[in-house]
Amino acid sequence: MEKPRKVHGVGINDANYAVCPKGPDGKQVFCPYYSTWKKMLERAYCPKYLVRHPTYIGVTVCEEWHSFMSFHAWMETQDWQGKHLDKDIIAPGNKVYSPDTCVFVPPAINSLLLDCGATRGEWPIGVSWYKPTRKFLARVSTAGRDKHLGYFTCPHEAHMAWRKAKLRLIRDAAREQDDPRIYAGLMRHAARIERGKITENAA
């Protein structure tokens, strides 16, 4: 008997039910547990995805979660609806998806920690050159929108304005969290920013 094909080269779909049954309209409906598991494996092991998102290079999934049903059992215990799976809010810089490092977070929290280093260009984070004024523009993203922080004569001043605003946003968000793991993780991220140790977060 032919062995079932592994998902993204490592995952084993050992579900005891149909993970993508057809709905009343005849269209397939993916199980949210399976979709989350498959996307996690894609971020770690899909070559095409890694070309598009190089910040995920080096990310792995713990062996326990190569089994879909093991991941399913963990996810059932989490507050996951309407949230994103994140591996490095609890442990900044973490590269392993595992029960000890992962948590589901609201989309706004996930986007709050994005650096977007791959797209910001040569200047420090939060800084861009604004040609019409021949000055450096500082801005910070909040609630999905860019908030302008002012124009500066040097990139360091603009970056420091960004840092001050980012710290305030992260600490305010931390105080709103009910999950102590997310609160502690956000405060650790804030401490890294304050020390100048800033890296791009990946979900």
pLDDT of amino acid 122: 81
Q: Is the pLDDT of residue 203 over 60?
A: no
| pLDDT tier for residue 197 given thresholds of 50, 70 and 90 | low
| pLDDT tier for residue 25 given thresholds of 50, 70 and 90 | confident
Domain spans of the chain, in order of start: 1-77, 105-203
Q: In the predicted model, what is the mean pLDDT of residues 170-190?
A: 93
| pLDDT tier for residue 7 given thresholds of 50, 70 and 90 | very high
Q: Is the pLDDT of residue 53 over 50?
A: yes
Q: Is the pLDDT of residue 116 over 50?
A: no
Q: Is the pLDDT of residue 21 over 90?
A: no
pLDDT digits (tens, 9 = 90+) for 59-71: 999 999 999 999 9
Q: Is the pLDDT of residue 73 over 90?
A: yes
Q: Is the pLDDT of residue 168 over 80?
A: yes
pLDDT digits (tens, 9 = 90+) for 124-157: 889 999 999 999 999 998 877 889 999 999 999 9
Quote the CA–CA distance of 149 and 161 in Å, as a whole number.
7
pLDDT of amino acid 119: 45
Q: Is the pLDDT of residue 108 over 90?
A: no
Query: What proportion of the chain, given as a percentage, has pLDDT over 90?
Result: 67
pLDDT of amino acid 37: 98
